[in-house]
Structure 1
Amino acid sequence: MAKTEALVLVEMYEKTRLLTRYYLSKLKEVDPLVSQGSGDVQFNSIYWLMAHLAWAENYLVVEMTGGKSVAPHWMNHYSLGSDGSVHEGHGSFKELLDDVKVVHEKCMQYLATLSDEDMAKENAGKFQFGDGDATCRFSVQHAIRHEALHTGHLSLIAKLNKQKTV
């Protein structure tokens, strides 16, 4: 039996998350609350990046495809266009990573239930991604691209901290 589009996208997301976790593992000795960069170029903190990835995954994979949010409300602080600050009161970095893991698992469980017909529907926000594509399919595809982009930030932070990555 052929896999649904959603199941293929779940597999792709999981592979992307493995890469995110790999680069994150190279940053254990780096303060997750400190913005990293070189010269005039600064990245958001590791804490912010991980919270933002969880917010975006929930928003793009679940909410934009018509589902009910699976993320804690405080993650909205890390939404598109936020100021890059770390919102206080969410606990330690370990607690954040636990929340990120739960959000990811719930998002993947939800995504796996979507049919090819669901994926072809217009996304809930009617948001057009660059080329005018406003489907639920492209919202999920964009979530995967978005994660990979920020995984690149984590890899650069690792390099800035002289961590061997390959």
Structure 2
Amino acid sequence: MNPSDTPAEAERESSPTVITIRNAEILVAITLAVVSLVTIWSNYQLGAGWSSYGPDAGYFPLRLGVVILLASIVVLVHAIRDNDQTPFLEIAQARLVAVILVPLVIFVFAIAYLGIYVASIIFIAAFMLFLGKFPWWKAASVSIILMLVFFFVFEIQFKVPLPKGPIENWLGF
């Protein structure tokens, strides 16, 4: 540890590893291989040949799936062979990601119950309050005004129906 390091840098240096580069590469390679196999199979069933009119609907996606499958096999072989145990993600880094990811997941699920506008007001205000350290009245006014502008633009002007919750239904929208 360097004496000029900040406490956050010192914590990162001593933070245990969640996943190594080797394990991350293996996980990504296997995930891509499974996705490519599903792509290959579904496009084979769809029709991946050449007809009198040209290529069938699954012709190009099947070949793309084969290329991705081959690339994922190469990545898997290199990951196993290289055995790189360098940290890919440490606990301190995972906490920083979780600060954003957990509220984002909650926001996505809240849209189904509260509608996009109310869920967005809560999401924006919470980030302004807890991460931005803004006063509550600024967080409330910015998030509400922003969503009112979005409501006007999307619902009134463009006539794009976005998911609505009980408040919008109560107001007749």
Shorter-chain TM-score range: under 0.3
TM-score, length basis structure 1: 0.28
Higher helix share: 2
TM-score, length basis structure 2: 0.27
Q: With CA pairs under 8 Å and 6+ residues apart, which has the higher RCO, 1 or 2?
A: 1
